[in-house]
């Protein structure tokens, strides 16, 4: 079978690989129908996240189950499924609390030895461990473009909202309108935000946010703080979602959020950051962050996608063939697409 593999910073290639085989009783094998290229794949592409040359990348996927181990009960051969981007054991301390994203045995697809040596899904077929927890049947009639958002990007946008102190009627600001930020905009609207400020400096992304019902705010050309105050009788926003992962965004979030409000960092932080702790303390802000608990939310996200309440279709701006993956990565790196879906 064919697989998209990391070779060196800036180089991916499509290589022949042996087809995966069942190893554990909870394994399934999925023939891939569609697989997304994600911002975190770009970290690998650039060598910022280091993986072994030759490792298969990708972690967003929809396909058909072609084999299952004897302990797999929730999906069967022939089922059309989508999967979450990482696995969880279901039995450790964290899984028993529902904190699947902190599972001590978690493995992430397509991220090399440091995240569990689990080959990625940008391939003709993929091995899916812990299939009872990781896979879900695709609801009748749902396109693969929509379904593959449930196990990663929309799951993360949804998590950003529901795992903050958000309540219906709140005013929410979203900083950074990549696919996760745009999904957070949609989730906030769907869950009852009175008003959503969508903040970025890329006109096309602001347009998509506006089409999702948000007020688009240009980071450089408009006075973001004045707009946030204007929307909240001078208080500042109730919830601010940082979908950038940069200290400058976090600093803005601390300033935009009202006293006793909450900040949710879903953008990725890997370094020490200089934050105005005094302001955070004086304003009694709640600060949360970390990888999204996508497995915990996937059923509700799927239900909202199936009902059309959440609809990320507008985010898929390119479809390309699996064998054109090297070009797809170059296109994505030039920010010429919001989400590229590869089809084998
Ligand atoms: Zn992803
Ligand atoms: Zn676990």
Q: How confident is the model over 104-123, as pLDDT tens digits?
A: 999 999 999 999 999 999 99
**Whose CA is closest to 256, among 291, 219, 289, 293?**
219
Q: How far is the CA of 92 from the centre of ligand 2 (A)?
A: 4
255 phi and psi angles, rounded to 5 deg: -80, -30
Query: Strand pairing of 286-289 and 60-68?
Result: unpaired
Q: How many angstroms separate the CA atoms of 305 and 263, rounded?
A: 25
Query: Is the pLDDT confidence value at 20 over 90?
Result: yes
Which ligand sits closest to the CA of 266?
1
Query: Is the pLDDT confidence value at 124 over 90?
Result: yes
Structure tokens at 106: 């978690």
Contact yes or no for 238/253 (Cβ under 8 A): no
Q: How many angstroms separate the CA atoms of 117 and 133, rounded?
A: 18
- β-strand partners of 83: 135
pLDDT of residue 268: 87
Query: Is the pLDDT confidence value at 10 over 90?
Result: yes
Which ligand sits closest to the CA of 340?
1
Q: How far is the CA of 151 from the centre of ligand 1 (A)?
A: 8
Q: For the chain, give the mean pLDDT.
A: 96
pLDDT of residue 265: 97
Q: Is 247 helix (H, G, I), strand (E, B) or coil?
A: helix
Q: How far is the CA of 87 from the centre of ligand 2 (A)?
A: 9
Which ligand sits closest to the CA of 122?
1
Sorted by sequence, the CB contacts under 8 Å of residue 75 that are 6+ apart come out as 28, 65, 68, 81, 131, 132, 135, 136, 137
Q: How far is the CA of 339 from the centre of ligand 1 (A)?
A: 10
pLDDT over 70 for what percent of the chain?
Answer: 100
Q: How far is the CA of 274 from the centre of ligand 1 (A)?
A: 27
Query: Is the pLDDT confidence value at 149 over 90?
Result: yes
What DSSP character marks residue 187? H
Place of tokens 């990565």: 329
Q: How far is the CA of 107 from the centre of ligand 2 (A)?
A: 10
pLDDT of residue 91: 96
pLDDT of residue 75: 98
pLDDT tens string 297-344: 999 999 999 999 999 999 999 999 999 999 999 999 998 899 999 999
Place of tokens 């899904």: 121
86 phi and psi angles, rounded to 5 deg: -140, 165
Q: How far is the CA of 120 from the centre of ligand 2 (A)?
A: 20
Which ligand sits closest to the CA of 295?
2
pTM: 0.95
pLDDT of residue 271: 82
Contact yes or no for 14/130 (Cβ under 8 A): no
pLDDT of residue 274: 87
Structure tokens at 241: 């979602």
Query: Is the pLDDT confidence value at 135 over 90?
Result: yes
Query: Strand pairing of 135-137 and 171-175?
Result: unpaired
pLDDT over 90 for what percent of the chain?
Answer: 94
What DSSP character marks residue 86? B
- 56-68: b or e for each residue (b if 16 or more CB lie within 10 Å)? bbbbbbbbbbebb
Query: Is the pLDDT confidence value at 48 over 90?
Result: no
C-alpha angle 183-186-190 in degrees, rounded to nearest 5: 135
Residues in the chain: 344
pLDDT of residue 234: 97
Q: How far is the CA of 267 from the centre of ligand 2 (A)?
A: 23
141 torsion bin: left (phi>0), alpha (psi -120 to 50), beta (else)? left
Which ligand sits closest to the CA of 61?
1
pLDDT of residue 270: 80
Average pLDDT value for residue range 184-202: 97
Q: How far is the CA of 48 from the centre of ligand 2 (A)?
A: 27
Q: How far is the CA of 337 from the centre of ligand 1 (A)?
A: 14
Q: How far is the CA of 187 from the centre of ligand 2 (A)?
A: 27
Structure tokens at 337: 């697409």
Q: How far is the CA of 90 from the centre of ligand 2 (A)?
A: 5
Query: What's the pLDDT band for 203 if we cut at 50, 70, 90?
Result: very high
Query: What's the pLDDT band for 273 if we cut at 50, 70, 90?
Result: confident
Average pLDDT value for residue range 266-291: 92
pLDDT tens string 57-76: 999 999 999 999 999 999 99
């Amino acid at each position: 079978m064919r697989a998209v593999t990391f070779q060196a910073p800036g180089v991916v290639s499509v290589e022949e690989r042996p087809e995966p085989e069942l190893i554990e009783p909870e394994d399934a094998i999925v023939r891939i129908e569609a697989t997304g290229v994600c911002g975190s794949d770009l970290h690998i592409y650039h060598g910022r996240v280091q993986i072994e040359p030759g490792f298969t990348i990708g972690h967003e996927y929809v396909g058909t189950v072609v084999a299952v181990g004897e302990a797999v009960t929730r999906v069967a051969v022939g089922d059309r499924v989508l999967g979450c981007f990482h696995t969880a054991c279901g039995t450790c301390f964290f899984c028993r609390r529902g904190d699947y994203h902190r599972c001590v045995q978690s493995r992430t697809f397509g991220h090399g030895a440091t995240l569990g040596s689990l080959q990625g899904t940008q391939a003709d077929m993929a091995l899916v461990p812990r299939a009872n927890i990781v896979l879900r049947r695709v609801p009748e009639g749902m396109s693969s473009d929509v379904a593959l958002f449930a196990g990663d990007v929309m799951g993360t946008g949804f998590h950003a909202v529901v795992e903050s102190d958000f309540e219906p009627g709140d005013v929410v600001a979203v900083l950074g309108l990549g696919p996760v930020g745009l999904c957070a905009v949609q989730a906030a609207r769907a869950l009852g935000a009175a008003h959503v400020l969508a903040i970025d400096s890329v006109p096309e992304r602001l347009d998509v946010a506006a089409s999702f019902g948000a007020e688009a705010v240009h980071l450089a050309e408009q006075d973001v703080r004045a707009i946030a105050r204007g929307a909240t009788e001078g208080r500042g926003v109730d919830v601010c979602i940082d979908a950038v992962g940069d200290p400058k965004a976090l600093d803005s979030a601390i300033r935009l959020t009202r006293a006793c409000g909450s900040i949710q960092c879903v953008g990725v932080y890997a370094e020490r950051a200089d934050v105005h702790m005094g302001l955070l303390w004086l304003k009694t802000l709640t600060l949360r962050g970390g990888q999204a608990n996508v497995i915990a939310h996937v059923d509700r996200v799927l239900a909202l996608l199936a009902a059309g309440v959440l609809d990320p279709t507008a985010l898929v701006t390119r479809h390309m063939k699996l064998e054109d993956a090297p070009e797809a990565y170059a296109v994505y790196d030039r920010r010429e697409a919001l989400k590229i879906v590869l089809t084998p």
